[in-house]
Structure 1
Amino acid sequence: MSGLSALIVGCGDVGGRLACQLLAKGWQVSGLRRSVGQLPAGVAPIAADLSDPSIPQAWPQHSPDYLVYCVAASQHDEVGYQAAYVDGLRHVLAWLALRGQRPRRLLFVSSSSVFAQKDGQWVDESAATEPEGYSGKVMLQAERLALASGIPASVVRLTGIYGPGREWLLSQVRQGYRVVEQPPLYGNRIHAEDAASLMAFLLQADADGVALDDCYIGVDDDPAPLAEVVGWLRAYLGVTQWSDEQRVRRTGSKRCSNARARALGWVPEYPSYKEGYAAILTGQR
């Protein structure tokens, strides 16, 4: 047993995977979400709605060693993002203060939407953050709130998460929808299991005394052009028809680097879309 504890706020798909990985390491894990019946076995449940400022009844009496804020907005507009990422985080920080609790580190799960680069350039943690859409702007506001919380904090900017149950692109490919080939539209992705493993790695590294940076990008090794990904999936699935519609689109094009996380020792289980999608499709058979 490690004797370490973590509270995962927003213990859904990725948070649940993180919980399972930490439990396997001997950590004690609490999970906060609205529907606690869906928590993995072994996770101490905390039923709460983050829009409610009152402290949850099941909030732990003792401070968790680590707090992971890993929520997903249930309403995909600016109001929904503000409620989930900024207001919700403010409530959680207030609950910690109310109980006099101070975790060793706060891990805030953010998004690569804070980057507005769109010409295929490489992007790392030092790149400019000048988001154009509401999602990136609100996420950047939440990041700043986490980093100014008074708790040592790191932000993890996840790129496009895919995995079992996150198969929008697969459904598009099966329907034969086209994708723009030129100019190349680079996309960034990370398998849900690797997103969780990166967070678990960072938490364990901090617990082991490794000095963490305040930001990490969560992405695989291969930011590939979308046309290449679609072409590979078409061949793998045996799709030959083309739709008259051009449905698979992206507005941006950038290549995110995982060099900082890699330098720390993290290694993705699915280094590219090929291994990740092959695992999903093998599991479906």
Structure 2
Amino acid sequence: MNKLNILIAGCGDVGCELARQLISMKCFNVWGLRRNIAKLPGGVNAIQGDLFNTEGLGDWPAQIDYVVYAAAANGRSEEHYQQAYIDGLKNVLGRLVKERYQPNRIFFTSSTSTFHQNRGEWVNETSATQPVKFNGRIMLEAESLLHHAPFPGTAIRFGGIYGPGRNRLISRVQKGEGCPAEPEIYSNRIHRKDCAGIIAHLIRRDMDNMPVDNLYLGVDSNPATTFDVLQWLGRQLNVPLDNKHYPSPQRGNRRCSNQRIIETGYRFYFPDYKSGYSSLIHKISDR
């Protein structure tokens, strides 16, 4: 069987993990587009380019079977988000149309910030989205761009991504910074390996002519309060936490359901924060 060409536009942290997983499947040629190609994993066909420059998108293969748009903003400002998720996506879609590519499907890494619910409610792919912050509004606009493009498109709204190099909560606990138990603030998270795993799983489904929806939530199976996560990490690291003098990290306070992706047959590498963070703690302990 001829290998399929997959373009990962914005092949950063999640994109590189996806590239490694796809290459291991032996049925894909993976092309990674980023500014610093020295950071691409072995086996990836390097495309040195800038997503934010229409004339600087690099040299693409003659045929592209799948596109994964996995860019990350260079900062937390509205301008950075606009550049990464609107301007960059427009540039990629524009080139696909201009050069008459016909990808089978485009995948876009979106965010659960598209939801406005903030009282611990459960949400899923059918829930209303009326975000009040610019990041959620920009992500919704990007999803709309994707779904109005002349190609099949799937957005995956990921929760808080953690994994190697993404140890924000572990670093907080190591400094002894807890948070109050009340009010309860729910958060949703997903290990980097499962971010890539979900995308790879959906690509395989599409290849096998199995149904792929236009939207999924990419979160693990255990929404938990930030207090519970921090206390558990504190016990694992044997660090007493000060829960009085540090506020809860800012989170949306909602519980996201992953039932739709579970129903496709996806099995999580790390189905909850305990299994995911345990793998990180072991790596830290081994240093």
Fold-level similarity (TM above 0.5): yes
Residue identity in the other structure for 1:114: T
Letter of the aligned partner of 2:237 in structure 1?
Answer: L
1:205 Cα offset (Å): 0.5
Between stretches 210-219 and 92-101, larger displacement belongs to 92-101
1:233-272 to 2 correspondence within 5 Å?
A: 233-242=233-242, 245-272=245-272
Q: CA deviation at 1:102?
A: 1.4
Q: Are 1:16 and 1:39, in contact at CA under 8 Å, matched by a contact in 2?
A: yes
Residue ranges of structure 2 left out of the alignment (5+ in a row): none
Residues in 2 aligned to 1:136 and 1:241: alpha-carbon distance in whole angstroms: 32
Q: Quick one: structure 1 residues 2 and 23, their matched pair in 2 at CA, closer, same or farther if it must change by over 3 Å?
A: farther
Equivalent-residue separation in structure 2 for 1:96 and 1:241 (angstroms): 51
> Shift in Å at residue 136 of structure 1?
0.5
- Deviations along 1:223-273, one digit per CA (max 9) or x if unpaired, are 011111111101000002527631442242110010000000001110111
Q: 1:188 aligned to 2:205?
A: no
Distance across 2 between alignment mates of 1:48 and 1:145: 22
Aligned counterpart, 2:101: 101
Q: TM-score by structure 1 length? A: 0.96
Residue matched to 1:33: 34
Q: Report SS of the residue matched to 1:110.
A: strand
Give, in whole Å, the separation in 2 of the partners of 1:188 and 1:224: 7
User: What is residue 118 of structure 1 aligned with on the other side?
Assistant: 118
Q: Contact between 2:107 and 2:153, CA under 8 Å: does it hold in 1?
A: yes
Q: In structure 2, what is the equivalent of residue 45 of structure 1?
A: 46
Tell me the SS of whatever aligns to 2:242: coil
2:171 maps to 1:166 = no
* Superposition misfits of 4+ residues, deviation over 4 angstroms: none
Q: TM-score, normalization: structure 2?
A: 0.96
CA contact (8 A) 2:179 2:242 kept: no
Q: Which residue in the other structure is 2:147 paired with? A: 147
Question: Counterparts of 1:241 and 1:126 in 2: how far apart (Å)?
Answer: 38
- Residue identity opposite 2:189 in structure 1: R
The separation in 2 between residues aligned to 1:115 and 1:30, in whole angstroms, is: 32
Residue of structure 1 equivalent to 2:131: 131
- Residue 205 of structure 2 is aligned to residue 205 of structure 1: yes
Query: For residues 282 and 2 of structure 2, what CA distance do their matches in structure 1 show?
Result: 34
Find the aligned partners of 2:160 and 2:2 in 1 and give their Cα distance.
32
Structure 2 counterpart of 1:270, one-letter code:
F
Pair 1:177-2:177 in alignment: yes
RMSD: 1.3
Name 1:216's counterpart in structure 2: 216
Alignment partners' CA distance in 1, 2:2 and 2:175: 48
Asked if structure 2 preserves the Cα contact closer than 8 Å seen for 1:180 and 1:249, the reply is: no
Asked if the contact 2:270–2:276 (Cα under 8 Å) also holds between the matched residues in 1, the reply is yes
Is the contact between residue 15 and residue 196 of structure 2 (CA under 8 Å) also seen in structure 1? yes
- What is the identity, as a one-letter code, of the residue corresponding to 2:220? D
Distance (whole Å) between structure 2 residues aligned to residue 107 and residue 78 of structure 1 = 23
Paired residue type of 2:48: A
Q: Which amino acid aligns with 1:91?
A: N
What one-letter code is carried by the residue in structure 1 that aligns with 2:178? R
Distance 1:76 1:241, change over 3 A: closer
Maintained 8 Å contact 1:14/1:196: yes
Query: What's the offset of the Cα at 1:2?
Result: 6.0
Aligned-partner residue type, residue 125 of structure 2: E
Listed as ranges, the gaps of 5+ residues in structure 1 are none
How far does the alpha carbon of each residue in 1:67-121 deviate from its partner, in whole angstroms, 9 at most, with x for none? Answer: 0000000022111111111111111111112221110000011000000111111
Q: 1 CA distance for matches of 2:241 and 2:249? A: 18
- CA shift for structure 1 position 55: 4.9
Structure 2 counterpart SS, 1:29: strand
* 1-structure distance, mates of 2:117, 2:15: 28
The question of whether the paired residues in 2 share the 8 Å contact of 1:35 and 1:47 is answered with yes
User: Could you report, residue by residue, the CA deviation over 1:140-183 in whole angstroms, capped at 9, with x for unpaired residues?
Assistant: 10010011011000110000000110011111111111312122
C-alpha contact 2:117 2:254 (8 A) present in aligned 1: yes
